[in-house]
């Protein structure tokens, strides 16, 4: 499980916040990289997390399955 709550200024109750502006997943077919823009200001990636051997997942699935905690 990835607990990203401390890294994000994401507020699910704020209609201007889209989680896809905070977190992107890049799957290269072998591994997945989780890129985090902590305040979604388009200033680039603040933190990258490499998930070795993890493929075929998406952000919504990780959140809904409890594999990623956002707040």
- For the stretch 48-63, pLDDT in tens is 999 999 999 899 999 9
Global confidence as pTM: 0.84
CA 1 centroid distance within chain? 12
**Closest C-alpha to 45, from 71, 18, 26:** 26
DSSP state of 59: H
For residues 17-44, give the mean pLDDT: 88
Average model confidence (pLDDT) across the chain: 88
pLDDT of residue 39: 85
pLDDT of residue 69: 87
The domain in which residue 12 lies consists of 2-69
What's the rounded Cα separation, in Å, for the pair 29 and 12? Answer: 30
CB atoms within 10 A of CB 26: 10
* Tally of domains within the chain: 1
Q: Are 59 and 68 in contact (CB under 8 A)?
A: yes
């Amino acid at each position: 499980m990835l607990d990203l709550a401390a890294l994000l200024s994401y507020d699910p109750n704020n209609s201007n916040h889209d989680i896809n502006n905070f977190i992107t997943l890049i799957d290269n077919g072998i591994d997945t990289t989780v890129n985090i823009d902590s305040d979604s200001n388009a200033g680039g990636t603040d933190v990258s997390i490499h998930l070795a051997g993890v493929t075929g997942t998406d952000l919504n699935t990780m959140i809904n399955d409890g594999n990623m905690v956002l707040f």
